[in-house]
């Protein structure tokens, strides 16, 4: 019997799962806090993978979804947010030296796109964009059945296109990026600013706000909250129009908590998309659909990577 191991690394926790090589149902799924007092995050990662290692049979490969910029060609994590010491970390080399099997690492958002394309809502499409709108905004692009990586593996930073020159400061240090306008925390921040400027809202007594607070109030009829969702949806629609012009996909898959805000977010997105494409041709036969893999998208993306020839 042969097996695959998939790993999803986050700033708070890591998860690992063991799969029979011809199955999509994990035999085991283990998780561990990314940081702890007993050992380093890398040592904790190794322990986590060991806990999933099958007692009988051979592991064919390990797929790893890692946060932050990572060079998938040499397996070096350039800078993982919220994981101390993970700067220019040769992750692939460390894991291959320890486990003596092939290790395939990739950026978590890129691998989420790969997972949705291979196992989720993107199945059957040859050209696809995946966009996740949550605490941040990320994604990935499938072009002619291959994950787009770029010269250094840094392609498809979907949340870091400029939509408002000199706009709000983004977490990356630049201004006016989509993530600084339409991510969950950015929506909440804009609504707070409007309240502080005197705009009436039932949310004025709940400061500071979360995106969930805004979404809940919007669905209860709060006009400022509704405006916050509509503003975010509009800018996401504008950005998707740009993506359509560049990549001409047949499907756009939307994931992340903000994307579940319903028509108050989605209708402005669709309106902006129609208004900003240079030709209706870009919308012909275009599927816009919700992601299907939920919280397992990172694990399934890592599994898809280790089972594919994407980086060979």
CA distance 181 to 164: 8
Residue 312 has a pLDDT of 43
What kind of fold does domain 2-113+296-306 have according to CATH? Nucleotidyltransferase; domain 5 (3.30.420)
**Each residue of 232-287: pLDDT tens digit?**
999 999 999 999 999 999 999 999 999 999 999 999 999 999 999 999 999 999 99
Residue ranges in the chain whose pLDDT is less than 70: 309-312
Residue 309 has a pLDDT of 55
Residue whose entry in the numeric block shows the structure tokens 């950015």: 186
> Where in the chain are all domains bearing CATH 3.30.420.40?
2-113+296-306, 124-291
Helix (H) or strand (E) holding 77: strand 76-79
Return the CATH number of 124-291, one of 3.30.420.40, 3.30.379.10, 3.40.50.150, 3.40.50.720.
Answer: 3.30.420.40
Residue 122 has a pLDDT of 97
Residue 215 has a pLDDT of 97
Written in H, E and C, the secondary structure of 294-310 is HHHHHHHHHHHHHCCCC
Residue 68 has a pLDDT of 86
pTM above 0.85, yes or no: yes
Residue 273 has a pLDDT of 97
How far, in whole angstroms, is CA 214 from its chain's centroid?
22
Residue 310 has a pLDDT of 46
**Each residue of 186-197: pLDDT tens digit?**
999 999 999 999
């Amino acid at each position: 019997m042969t097996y695959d191991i998939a790993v999803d690394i986050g700033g708070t926790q890591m998860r690992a799962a063991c799969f029979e090589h011809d199955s999509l149902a994990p035999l085991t799924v283990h998780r561990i806090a990314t940081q702890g007092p007993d050992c380093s995050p890398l040592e904790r990662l190794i322990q986590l993978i060991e806990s999933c290692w099958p007692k009988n049979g051979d592991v064919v490969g390990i797929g790893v979804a890692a946060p932050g910029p990572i060079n998938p060609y040499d397996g070096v994590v350039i800078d993982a947010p919220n994981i101390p010491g993970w700067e220019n970390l040769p992750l692939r080399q460390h894991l291959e030296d320890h486990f003596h099997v092939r290790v395939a690492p990739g950026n978590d958002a890129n691998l989420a796109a790969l997972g949705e394309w291979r196992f989720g809502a993107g199945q059957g499409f040859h050209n696809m964009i995946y966009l996740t709108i949550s605490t941040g905004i990320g994604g990935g692009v499938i072009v002619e059945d291959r994950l787009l990586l770029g010269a250094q593996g840094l392609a498809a930073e979907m949340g870091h296109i400029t939509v408002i020159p000199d706009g709000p400061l983004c977490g990356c240090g630049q201004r006016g990026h989509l993530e600084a306008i339409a991510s969950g925390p950015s929506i909440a921040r804009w609504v707070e600013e409007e309240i502080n400027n005197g705009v009436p809202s039932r949310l004025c007594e709940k400061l500071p706000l979360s995106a969930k607070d805004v979404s809940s109030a919007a669905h209860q009829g709060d006009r400022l909250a509704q405006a916050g969702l509509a503003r975010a949806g509009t800018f996401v629609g504008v950005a998707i129009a740009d993506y359509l012009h560049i990549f001409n996909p047949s499907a756009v898959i939307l994931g992340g908590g903000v994307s579940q805000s319903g028509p108050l977010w989605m209708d402005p997105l669709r309106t902006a998309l129609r208004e900003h494409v240079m030709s209706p041709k870009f919308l012909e036969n275009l599927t816009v659909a919700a992601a299907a893999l939920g919280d397992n998208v990172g694990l399934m993306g890592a599994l898809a990577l280790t089972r594919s020839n994407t980086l060979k």
